[in-house]
Homo-oligomer: A and B are copies of this chain.
Amino acid sequence: MNADSYDAMPPAGATAGEVLTRYLHERAAGFLRGLSLRGENEAEADALLRGSARRIGGALHTFGPLTDPAWAEPLRAELAWLSATLGREPQHAGRLARLLEALRRLSVAAPEGQEPVLAGGTGGAAPPAVPAPASGGPLALGAARAGALLERQLTLARTRAHSASLQAMGSSRFHALADAIAVLVSEVPLTPAAAQPAQAVLPQLAGQASQRLADAAAALPLGRAAHPYNADAVQAALGAELTADLQDAPWHQVRILLRLTRYAAEVTRAEGDTAERQRLADAARLLERHREAAESAAAVAAAARTPRIAPATAYALGVLHADQRHEVEAARFAFSRLWQPAVPGARRE
């Protein structure tokens, strides 16, 4: 995003309000830049809009005591709406790419020079709409059809998300939000607490965000997740949908708290140590992978409920679903090792 543009240190002795305002100004400018870029490069513009919206919303959340809540709370809600709306299209696109890549990996051909043995029937399935890979059996045929089904469904979802984005950007709701951001560039409604020295207030509020992250991460089943092949995440594969949701929710929560902690560090310009910053960035990347795999698995389960699909297609979707739940587990494993590198007894199976 546009974190790089905020590269000047705040003046020593500045008030908390001054530092926060300066950060919000920068982000608001980024937002308005994204808006003007939209005619040229929609994807880049949307990414800039989302990044700015998330950072403004995050700063207003973490440093809440410094701004007027009657102004900040509704603004945060509108920023969250915009960020979610603009995020859907790239998410559907990423999900489709991830699932097609997984299907390709799962349908890998036998090593060269080996002719595959084509086994039995395809379970009464109709002729394939999509040609099967050269060296696949009937199950690989199911993979091709599963890929075609996911492509149809996720492309449709993506098109709808794109329309929704366009509609949102043309709405009076968005124009009101853009107006509020434009005001933010000139003026931020501060509370009396914002008059204190930055060093007396900002590190403490950022520290609270870090503590919320630490607490939420400590409540995760990290010891268990650090044992490879514990098969926890895949438990949900044939259970009720809610099993997966309940199981994944605390990890998603940590992902959000991690983001807030990283944005708070942008405000305080905490130099921190590079290793710690890198650790947080790596952790964020792993939990992003966790989210993508979990949502991809859910998209596969949804595709499997399409009426009248062939058994070979359903079979391939089942394999793919379990594969994505294992990706969920792999992300949890990597996060656990990163977050608690010294879990006793977790090194070996």
Interface residues of A (CB under 8 A from B): 103, 105-111, 114-124, 135-140, 142-143, 228-229, 231, 234-243, 246, 301-302, 304-323, 326-327, 329-330, 333-334, 337, 347-349
Contact = CB atoms under 8 A, between A and B. Distances in A.
Q: Sorted from nearest, which 4 A-B pairs have the closest CB atoms?
A: A318-B318, A116-B240, A228-B228, A322-B322
Contacts of A106: 234-235, 237-239, 322
Copies of this chain per assembly: 2
Contacts of A312: 304, 314
A237 B123 contact: no
Which of A109, A327, A349 is the most central at the interface, judged by chain B CB atoms within 10 Å of its CB? A349
A124 B308 contact: yes
18 contacts: A114-B242, A116-B239, A121-B307, A123-B305, A123-B309, A124-B308, A142-B238, A228-B228, A228-B333, A229-B329, A229-B333, A304-B311, A315-B315, A315-B317, A318-B319, A318-B322, A330-B349, A347-B347
Nearest to A286: B349
Which of A108, A318, A319 is the most central at the interface, judged by chain B CB atoms within 10 Å of its CB? A318
A189 to B, nearest CB: 41
Contacts of A234: 106, 319, 323, 326
A240 B137 contact: yes
B311 A237 contact: no
Contacts of A235: 105-106, 108
A38 to B, nearest CB: 36
Which of A120, A124, A304 is the most central at the interface, judged by chain B CB atoms within 10 Å of its CB? A304
Contacts of A137: 239-241
Contact of A240 (B136, B318, B322, B348): B136
A246 B114 CA distance: 9
A139 B329 contact: no
Given A123-B305, A241-B119, A231 B323 contact: yes
Contacts of A302: 120
Given A117-B240, A314-B314, A316-B318, 19 more contacts: A105-B235, A106-B237, A111-B246, A123-B304, A123-B305, A123-B308, A137-B239, A138-B305, A139-B239, A139-B304, A142-B238, A228-B333, A229-B327, A229-B330, A234-B319, A311-B311, A315-B317, A315-B318, A318-B318
